[in-house]
Chain A
Amino acid sequence: MSQAIETSADRAPRRRASSPFLSRFMKKAADPAVFFGLAVVIAVLGIVEWLVASNYISRAVIALPSDAIAGLFSPEFSGELLRACRLTFGLVAAALVLEILVAIPAGYFLYRKPIFGAAYEGWLAALFAAPIFLLYPLFMVIIGRNNYTLVFMGFAAGVIPIIIHARLAFMTVPETLINVGRSFHLSNSAIFWKIILPSGTPTIFSGIRLGLIYTLINIIAIEFLVDAGGLGRMVSDRYFRFDIAGTYTAICAVALVSITLNLIVNRLEKMVR
Chain B
Amino acid sequence: MNSTSAYTHWLTPVRRIKICTILVLLIAWQLLSISGLLFEGVLPQPLAVLKALVSELLLPSLYIDLGITLFEAAVGFVVGSALAVAVGLWLGSSGFFRRAFEPYIHALASMPKIIFLPIIFLVFGLGIESKIAKSAMSTFFPVTISTIAGFLQIDQTLINVGRSFHLDRAKMIRLIYLPAMLRPLSVGLQLGVAMAIIGVLSAEIAYASVGLGARLIRYSDNFNVSSTYAVMIIIFAVTATVNHLFMRLQKPFLRHERSRQGEAAALTLTAARTPA
Q: A residues within 8 Å of B by Cβ?
A: 31-34, 36-37, 40-41, 60-62, 115-116, 118-120, 123, 126, 129-135, 137-138, 140-142, 157, 161, 209-210, 213-214, 216-218, 220-221, 224-225, 232, 235-236, 238-239, 244, 247-248, 250-251, 254-255, 258-259, 262
| A218 engages B275 (CB within 8 Å) | yes
A-B contact pairs, 19 of them (CB 8 A): A36-B96, A37-B99, A40-B101, A129-B243, A131-B198, A131-B201, A133-B275, A134-B213, A138-B228, A141-B228, A142-B38, A214-B275, A220-B112, A221-B202, A225-B202, A225-B206, A238-B118, A255-B107, A255-B108
Task: Choose one: B18, B21, B95, B107; the contact of A262 (CB below 8 Å).
Answer: B107
> A120-B21, A221-B112, A225-B114 provided; 11 other pairs, C-beta below 8 A?
A115-B13, A126-B240, A129-B239, A133-B198, A134-B232, A141-B225, A142-B38, A218-B276, A225-B206, A232-B114, A235-B118
Query: Which B residue sits closest to A164, measured CB to CB?
Result: B270
Let me know if B111 is at the binding interface, CB within 8 A: yes
- Complex Cα distance A262/B112, Å? 12
B220 CB contacts on chain A under 8 angstroms: 137-138, 140-141
Task: Choose one: B14, B38, B111, B229; the contact of A115 (CB below 8 Å).
Answer: B14
**Interface of B (DSSP majority class):** helix
| A239 engages B118 (CB within 8 Å) | yes
A251 CB contacts on chain B under 8 angstroms: 115-116, 118-119
Query: Which A residue sits closest to B102, measured CB to CB?
Result: A37
| A210 engages B274 (CB within 8 Å) | no
Q: B residues within 8 Å of A by Cβ?
A: 13-15, 17-18, 21, 38, 42-43, 95-101, 103-104, 107-108, 110-112, 114-119, 121-123, 194, 197-198, 201-202, 205-206, 213, 216-217, 220, 223, 225, 228-229, 232, 235-236, 239-240, 243, 270-271, 274-276
| A37 engages B276 (CB within 8 Å) | no
Q: State whether A119 and B42 are in contact (beta carbons under 8 Å apart), knowing that A36-B96, A235-B118 are contacts in the complex.
A: no
B103 CB contacts on chain A under 8 angstroms: 37
B188 CB to closest chain A CB (Å) equals 14
| B14 engages A37 (CB within 8 Å) | no
Task: Choose one: A130, A140, A225; the contact of B236 (CB below 8 Å).
Answer: A130
A218 CB contacts on chain B under 8 angstroms: 275-276
| A224 engages B99 (CB within 8 Å) | no
B202 CB contacts on chain A under 8 angstroms: 133, 221, 225
B167 CB to closest chain A CB (Å) equals 26
| A138 engages B104 (CB within 8 Å) | no
| B229 engages A138 (CB within 8 Å) | yes
| B18 engages A119 (CB within 8 Å) | yes
| A221 engages B223 (CB within 8 Å) | no
Query: Which B residue sits closest to A234, measured CB to CB?
Result: B115
- Complex Cα distance A134/B123, Å? 25
- Complex Cα distance A232/B115, Å? 7
Q: State whether A221 and B275 are in contact (beta carbons under 8 Å apart), knowing that A31-B99, A129-B243 are contacts in the complex.
A: yes
A42 CB to closest chain B CB (Å) equals 12
B15 CB contacts on chain A under 8 angstroms: 119
| A119 engages B122 (CB within 8 Å) | no
- Complex Cα distance A213/B275, Å? 10
Find the residue from A40, A133, A161, A236 having the highest chain B CB count within 10 A. Answer: A133
- Complex Cα distance A77/B83, Å? 36
| B201 engages A220 (CB within 8 Å) | no
Task: Choose one: B100, B122, B275; the contact of A217 (CB below 8 Å).
Answer: B275
| A130 engages B225 (CB within 8 Å) | no
B112 CB contacts on chain A under 8 angstroms: 216-217, 220-221, 224, 232, 254, 258
A40 CB contacts on chain B under 8 angstroms: 100-101
- Complex Cα distance A33/B118, Å? 32
| A142 engages B43 (CB within 8 Å) | yes
B40 CB to closest chain A CB (Å) equals 12
B118 CB contacts on chain A under 8 angstroms: 235-236, 238-239, 247, 251
Find the residue from A61, A221, A232, A255 having the highest chain B CB count within 10 A. Answer: A221
